[in-house]
Amino acid sequence: MFFQRFKKPRLQKFFQSAFAATLLLMAGLTSLAQEPVSKEQIDDKLAEVVKLGEAIVENTTTHPMSKEYVGNALNCTSCHLDNGRHEKAGTFLGTATAYPAWSPRENRVITLEDRVLNCFMRSCNGTRPPLGSEVSVAVTTYVTSLSQGQSLRMNSKRPVGPGAIKLLAVKPDQADINRGASLYHSRCAECHQKDGQGDKDNPPVWGERSYNDGAGLSSVENLAAWLKVAMPLDDTNLTDQQALDIAVFVNSQKRPNFDLLKHLPTKAKLGEYNASPTK
Ligand code: HEC
Ligand code: HEC
């Protein structure tokens, strides 16, 4: 016990009573400070956090709450188009209904919050924010708000929602990388540039500022399926074969290597007590 560390009984007593006095004082202050909270205030609080979460999803690389956890030039919305409101490209609509879920990659049952935090480490090549931190709670709350009213179905196969992207019928061994390269230059380079580094309006698709090789899109099958529903932005008309060819080309380019231990925070910051206690 904490108090037993003080060997001398008098010293022990002194600390015990100082501790009790502090507790009493804190309880007193709290009862003065706390008015009953009305239903409207609770609704307002929740709406505020939903809004904060959406702002983080949109401006992940620059938002003061999230930027320290991002290690590349991508915002969540770079892949979860329209802040996850797009019906196909990485949709968050209905996503929260699919958790908790079994994750073969993590070899664990994971929660929606875990799923959100893992995207920071992998897709955003950054550091996993602490569980229970404000940024984590805000983003998870926003994603959850997009499943309002839908019924929950836990998921025993893999951690994706009902609107998850369907894999294409063509398989990576049918890809032609040379065809992919010329398609990239005719269909993608106008925005993402010949060197894949993008510009101020378009994110990089390979290189140090791109997603790492532990991200979902670093799998050719996933990237092909995502391109088919997402790119070229505003003109999504690639055939399955074209999407696959381009995916093989894009993922053959250099990108950061994912080394899990470099993306976890220090042990002390792995989790946070999700509270600002008043008593
Ligand atoms: C480089 C692209 C990319 C970026 C950036 C990215 N993600 Fe993802 N994320 C994906 C892909 C791909 C999937 C799998 C989606 C699917 O299969 O429909 C995914 C899945 C998810 C899921 C699970 C969706 C489901 O249907 O179960 C959540 C939640 C998620 N991401 C949150 C985030 C958050 C939050 C951020 C920003 C911190 C982020 N992602 C950044 C590519 C990305
Ligand atoms: C008209 C411009 C435009 C064209 C053409 C275009 N993209 Fe994009 N792409 C974007 C924008 C903008 C985003 C980020 C979306 C957002 O933030 O809303 C993006 C996102 C991406 C992403 C996910 C984020 C990242 O940078 O890794 C990939 C991968 C991607 N595009 C690949 C391609 C490929 C491959 C093609 C060609 C088939 C293509 N794009 C064509 C504008 C474009």
54 touches 83 (CB < 8 A): yes
* Digit-coded pLDDT (tens) for 131-186: 999 999 999 999 999 999 999 998 898 888 999 999 999 999 999 999 999 999 99
Q: What is the predicted pLDDT for the residue at 252?
A: 98
Q: Are residues 68 and 152 in the same domain?
A: yes
Give the pair of three-digit tokens for residue 40.
Answer: 């409207």
Structural domain count, the chain: 2
Does a structural domain hold residue 17?
Answer: no
Instruction: Among 112, 137, 164, identify where a domain stops.
Output: 164
Token pair 């959850």 is found at 144
Q: Are residues 131 and 190 in the same domain?
A: no
Q: Which residues constitute the domain of residue 110?
A: 39-164
Pocket mutation for ligand 2, best pick of 192, 201, 209, 223 (most atoms within 8 Å of C-beta): 192
Distance 43 CA to ligand 2 centre (A): 36
Does a structural domain hold residue 53?
Answer: yes
Cα separation values, 151 from 53, 98, 135, 170, Å: 22, 9, 26, 33
77 touches 57 (CB < 8 A): yes
Q: First vs last Cα of the chain: how many Å apart?
A: 22
Does a structural domain hold residue 22?
Answer: no
Q: Are residues 121 and 227 in the same domain?
A: no
Does a structural domain hold residue 86?
Answer: yes
* Digit-coded pLDDT (tens) for 7-29: 555 555 655 666 555 555 555 55
* Digit-coded pLDDT (tens) for 233-244: 989 999 999 999
Q: What is the predicted pLDDT for the residue at 106?
A: 87
Task: Determine the distance from the C-alpha atom of residue 15 to the mean position of all C-alpha atoms in its chain, rounded to a whole number.
Answer: 44
* Digit-coded pLDDT (tens) for 196-223: 999 999 999 999 999 999 999 999 999 9
Q: Are residues 232 and 145 in the same domain?
A: no
Q: What is the predicted pLDDT for the residue at 236?
A: 95
Does a structural domain hold residue 1?
Answer: no
Q: What is the predicted pLDDT for the residue at 29?
A: 53
Nearest to 111 by CA among 142, 140, 79: 140
Q: What is the 3-state secondary structure (H, E, C) of 115-155?
A: HHHHHHHCCCCCCCCCECCHHHHHHHHHHHHCCCCCCCCCE
Domain of residue 201, CATH code: 1.10.760.10
Sign, Cα dihedral of 260, 264, 268, 270: negative
Q: Are residues 45 and 145 in the same domain?
A: yes
Distance 119 CA to ligand 1 centre (A): 6
Does a structural domain hold residue 208?
Answer: yes
Does a structural domain hold residue 11?
Answer: no
Q: Are residues 86 and 109 in the same domain?
A: yes
- What pTM was computed for the model? 0.88
Q: Are residues 121 and 228 in the same domain?
A: no
Token pair 């950054």 is found at 126
Instruction: Among 131, 164, 197, identify where a domain stops.
Output: 164
Report the chain's mean pLDDT, rounded to a whole number.
89
Sign, Cα dihedral of 87, 92, 95, 96: negative
pLDDT at 227 over 80: yes
Q: Are residues 148 and 104 in the same domain?
A: yes
Task: Write the residue with the smallest CA distance to atom 2 of ligand 1.
Answer: 79
Instruction: Among 132, 164, 196, identify where a domain stops.
Output: 164
Q: Does the N-terminal peptide bond of residue 232 adopt cis geometry, omega within 30 degrees of 0?
A: yes
Three-class SS of residue 28?
A: helix
Q: Return the ligand 2 atom nearest residue 250 CA.
A: 35
| Cβ of residue 216 lying under 6 Å from some atom of ligand 1 | yes
Distance 202 CA to ligand 2 centre (A): 7
Q: Are residues 57 and 147 in the same domain?
A: yes
Does a structural domain hold residue 231?
Answer: yes
| Cβ of residue 103 lying under 6 Å from some atom of ligand 1 | no
| Cβ of residue 255 lying under 6 Å from some atom of ligand 1 | no
Q: How does residue 265 score in pLDDT terms, banded at 50, 70 and 90?
A: confident
Q: Are residues 149 and 192 in the same domain?
A: no
Q: What is the mean pLDDT of residues 76-100?
A: 97
Q: Are residues 93 and 44 in the same domain?
A: yes
Element (DSSP H or E) covering residue 42:
helix 39-58
> What is the rounded CA–CA span in Å between residue 213 and residue 216?
8
Angle at 259 between CA 223 and CA 261, to 5 degrees: 135
Q: How does residue 1 score in pLDDT terms, banded at 50, 70 and 90?
A: very low
Distance 278 CA to ligand 1 centre (A): 35
Q: Are residues 158 and 229 in the same domain?
A: no
Q: How does residue 129 score in pLDDT terms, banded at 50, 70 and 90?
A: very high
| Cβ of residue 135 lying under 6 Å from some atom of ligand 1 | no
Distance 42 CA to ligand 2 centre (A): 39
Task: Write the residue with the smallest CA distance to atom 23 of ligand 1.
Answer: 160
> What is the rounded CA–CA span in Å between residue 180 and residue 174?
12
Q: What is the predicted pLDDT for the residue at 274?
A: 78
Task: Determine the distance from the C-alpha atom of residue 59 to the mean position of all C-alpha atoms in its chain, rounded to a whole number.
Answer: 12
